[in-house]
Structure formats: structure tokens, C-alpha cells
Amino acid sequence: MELRPLGRSGLKTAPWAFGGNVFDWTADKQTSFALLDAFVGEGFSLIDTADVYSAWAPGHKGGESETVMGEWFAARPGVRDKVLVATKLGMLPPNNGLSAKQIETAVEASLKRLQTDRIDLYQSHKDDAETPLEETLTAFDRLVKSGKVRAIGASNYDAPRLAEALKVSADKGLARYDSLQPAYNLMDRAIEAEIVPLCLKDEVGIITYYSLASGFLSGKYRSEADLGKSARGGGIKKYLTDKGFAVLKALDEVSETHGATPAQVAAAWVMAKPGVTAAIASATSLDQMKDLIAAARLKLTADDMAKLDKASA
């Protein structure tokens, strides 16, 4: 399987990353273990989570996803060395933000929940304009030098702010953001204007989320009558536009050519775009897992990409 470099970090990953937001939320512990076993069994490695997952669920306080991963590591001796753990900090109260103190506190809590001695990719979940970048990056640099973190990344930074952070790292000799995690899919291509060129120029790996536009690109939602099919229906209504229907039509045509599903083609399109190291997508069943495994191995032609590009422009 093709492995792609994660910035300049020396880490490499397959083009699909498993979104761990579902662990102990829409996938119970037993199901989560089965999904993780299948993911690693197929040769994939990058698992993305965050300390705040899944604080939004009733009765949860955050840390549930990391805890499930830690219990999985404990139950599967040796599996930790087969995966890349990517987690995030900065959005879980009271340790929201990216001050040095908050980073030092959050990393210890994540390591404990994950039952591991290192985090492969530690990411700022969102920008913290109140804390100087030098303070944030100096704290991350200490973690890298201590061996608790192998590489650092950013999530939800705009291009000017990422460029500023990269300059601070270069000027001060500090650990640099080797990845950026933005939203990107056939319905939302905003990163192509500034973020993709910046990441290509400075060798920052792009790890995308919302790769299926909250499920719209699965093809399950083709009218307002379909919105009741899941709890996400309300967030999908905005895609029922002329552009949305044109994208679904193109997905149907490409899918038929390859004997694939619209979801597989939509995910494969993201994975094939310049600068993308990996696309994050979640699964809550083994059938969905098989879909994503197939997507990571689907090779779209130049004509396929052009058709999808045109429909989604």
C-alpha cells in the first residue's frame, strides 16, 4: 500500500486515517475494538482522535475516545507499535487554549488515557490567538525533545496563521507544524485557494476531515424527504442545491464505471488531490469499514478526476 510522508516529520501513513470521534459514542466499546482490529488488520495505521471527543454526548465529559483506544492497546499487546496515534488538544475545558501550562497538563492526561508513552502526532485543535505562537511552539518543542511527542500538527488554522507559525518555528529553531487538518470535500474546496499552495510549498501534510460532507456524498440524501435517515440530516440540507445534485450525478457516473459506491469515489477523490496526505473518515460498522478500505485502494483516472472537479467547481 502506498505510504505518504507526513510533512518533514519522517512519519508515513496510508491515505486513509480512521476518525476516532465515534469511539464510545456512536460505536460502543466492543464495536470500536472490532473496527480498530479490522483497520490495523488491513495494513492501515493512522488513527485520529482528540481529548474533547466526545464531550458533546449526554453523560460524557471528554476523553472517552482516547480511553477506548488505551483499553484497546492494553487488550492487544504489540498493537501500539503498528499504529500512529494522532490526538488533539485545546478545546476541552478547563485546558482549552494553547498556553504552555495547558499543553503540559493536557498531554499528560492524554498519555494516561491512551495508556502509551508517546503520541505520534499531537495537534492544536484550533488556533489560540490569546497565546503567543512562540509560547505554544516552545512547549511543543519540549514535548518533542522529551520523546513524549514525535511530531506536531495544527487543525483549523487559516493560511496566514499557519505561515506565521512556520516562520516562528524556523526563526527560533522550534518544532514545526508538520500537518494541517482542514475540512475538504467535493462540496467544500475552499482550501485550494491558499492553504494547499502553502502546504505544498512548505511540505506540510494535509489531513482532511469532513471528507464525505457529513454523509451527503454517500448518495443517501437526494431530497428533503431523505434528511430523516440520520441525526445528521439537518446539517445536510444545505447541500441540496444545483451544485449538490451535479456532484451526485458525477459520483453516480464514476461509481458505475468502477463498480464502486459514491462514498468510495468521494473519499478517493480527496485522497488523490495534491497535498493530501490522508483523509479522515469514520466508520461505525464493519460494512462501512469495508467501504473505506475499498476507497483507499480505488484509483481514479484523470478523466474521473476532471469530471468530479468540474461538477464541484
Find the Cα–Cα–Cα–Cα dihedral 129, 134, 137, 138, rounded to 10°: -140
Give the three-class secondary structure for 33.
helix
Q: pLDDT-based confidence at 2, cuts 50/70/90? A: confident
pLDDT at 232: 58
The answer, yes or no, to whether residue 231 has pLDDT greater than 70, is no
Cis peptide bond N-terminal to 94, omega within 30 = yes
Q: How confident is the model at residue 226 (pLDDT cuts 50, 70, 90)?
A: confident
Cis-peptide into 197, omega within 30 deg: no
Strands 276-281 and 149-155 come out as unpaired
List all residues 6 or more positions away from 76 whose beta carbon is below 8 Å from its beta carbon.
Answer: 37
Matching residue, cell 482522535: 49
Residue 14 has pLDDT above 90, yes or no: yes
C-alpha cell at 50: 482528540
Q: According to the model, what pLDDT value does residue 34 have?
A: 98
Has residue 13 got a pLDDT over 70? yes
Q: Phi, psi (5° rounding) for residue 173?
A: 70, 40
Q: Are strands 46-48 and 84-89 parallel, antiparallel or unpaired?
A: parallel
Residue written as grid cell 440540507: 237
Q: What is the mean pLDDT of residues 166-176?
A: 98
Whether pLDDT at 220 is above 90: no
Mean pLDDT of 91-116: 96
Is the separation of the CB atoms in 214 and 182 below 8 Å?
Answer: no
Average pLDDT over residues 142-155: 98
The distance in angstroms from the start CA to the end CA of the chain is 30
Cell of 78: 504489540
Q: Is the pLDDT of residue 233 over 70?
A: no
CA-nearest of 226, 165, 225 to 198 is 165
Look at residues 242, 254, 252 and name the one whose alpha carbon lies nearest to residue 219: 252
Question: Residue 278 pLDDT > 70, yes or no?
Answer: yes
Supply the pTM of this predicted model: 0.95
Residue range 282-300, pLDDT digits in tens = 999 999 999 899 999 999 9
Smallest CA-to-CA distance from 212 within 238, 242, 183, 234 is with 183
| Residue 203 confidence class, pLDDT cut points 50, 70, 90 | very high
A 10 A CB-CB count for 3 gives 13
Q: 230 pLDDT exceeds 70?
A: no
Confidence label for 224 from pLDDT (cuts 50, 70 and 90): confident
Say whether pLDDT at 122 is over 70: yes
Question: Which pLDDT band, with edges at 50, 70 and 90, does 1 fall under?
Answer: confident
CA atoms within 13 A on the CB side of 85: 28
What pLDDT, on the 0 to 100 scale, is given for residue 67?
98
Judge contact between 94 and 88, C-beta under 8 A: no
37 to each of 82, 83, 120, how far by Cα in Å? 11, 11, 19
Q: How many helices (H) and strands (E) does the chain have?
A: 11, 10
Q: Give the least confident one: 49-53, 177-181, 212-216.
A: 212-216
Check pLDDT > 80 for residue 225: no
| CATH numbers and ranges of domains, the chain | 4-218+261-301 (3.20.20.100)
**What value does the mean pLDDT take over residues 213-233?**
79
pLDDT of residue 279: 96
Are 255 and 261 within 8 A, CB to CB? yes
Quote the pLDDT of residue 236: 85
Residue 257's Cβ-count burial label (10 Å; 0-12, 13-18, 19+) is: middle
Per-residue pLDDT, averaged over 26-53, amounts to 97
